[in-house]
Amino acid sequence: MAVRDDIGSRGEAIFYVRITDFCGRKQPLFHPRFLGEKAQTLDYLVELVGAGERTPFFFVQVKTTREGYTKRPQPPRLKVGMSRHAVQRLALYPAPTYLVGIDERREEGYILAILEGMTDPISSFPTNFPLDCANLRLLWEEVRQFWKGRGMDMRHSVFTM
């Protein structure tokens, strides 16, 4: 029987494969950067490919399960969740942040935005938004729009002369 860390590692690998799908292009839409085994809240910083001079990015937490799906409601929900405290922690990041649920057995993934002010725990994961090419394109555009026009230039620092 696989141990929890092995299932989690496989889930992270499945996420990496799904998020870097070429989707008929010469290069993938995203470049994910794993933040390390010990990162408490976030698993990946993901950069958009081909979005211009400044590189928009978002954060991802990956949750993996072998438990399958609920029988109700329709559509079925993946049997993976997140505590209230973890949702609140993710919602504090001042950048687009997403939770990805991975069905390890089917090697499928689903994405859910974690928005500012979210506080409720996630008891099971919606399957409305699979990590497929159509949703990857929507994700790319959503994150690009978030960063577009934001005044993110650092103009002053105590460490300049």
> What is the residue-level pLDDT of the chain in tens, covering all 161 positions?
467 678 889 999 999 999 999 999 999 999 999 998 767 789 999 999 999 888 999 999 999 999 999 987 788 999 999 999 999 999 999 999 999 999 999 999 999 999 999 999 999 999 999 999 999 999 999 999 999 878 777 788 888 87
In this predicted structure, what is the pLDDT of residue 73?
73
In this predicted structure, what is the pLDDT of residue 53?
80
The angle formed by the CA atoms of residues 59, 64 and 69, to the nearest 5 degrees, is 120
Q: Residues 117-120: contacts with CB within 8 Å, 24+ apart?
A: 117/91, 118/87, 118/88, 118/90, 118/91, 119/84, 119/87, 119/88, 119/91, 120/84, 120/87
Distances in Å between the Cα of 98 and the Cα atoms of 47, 58, 81 are 13, 8, 13
Helices (H), the chain: 4-19, 84-91, 133-147
**Tokens read off for 102:** 């991975």
In this predicted structure, what is the pLDDT of residue 150?
81
In this predicted structure, what is the pLDDT of residue 2?
61
**Tokens read off for 119:** 């506080």
What domains can be seen in the chain, in order of their start residue? 4-147 (3.40.1350.10)
In this predicted structure, what is the pLDDT of residue 5?
79
Tell me the whole-structure pTM to 2 decimals.
Answer: 0.91
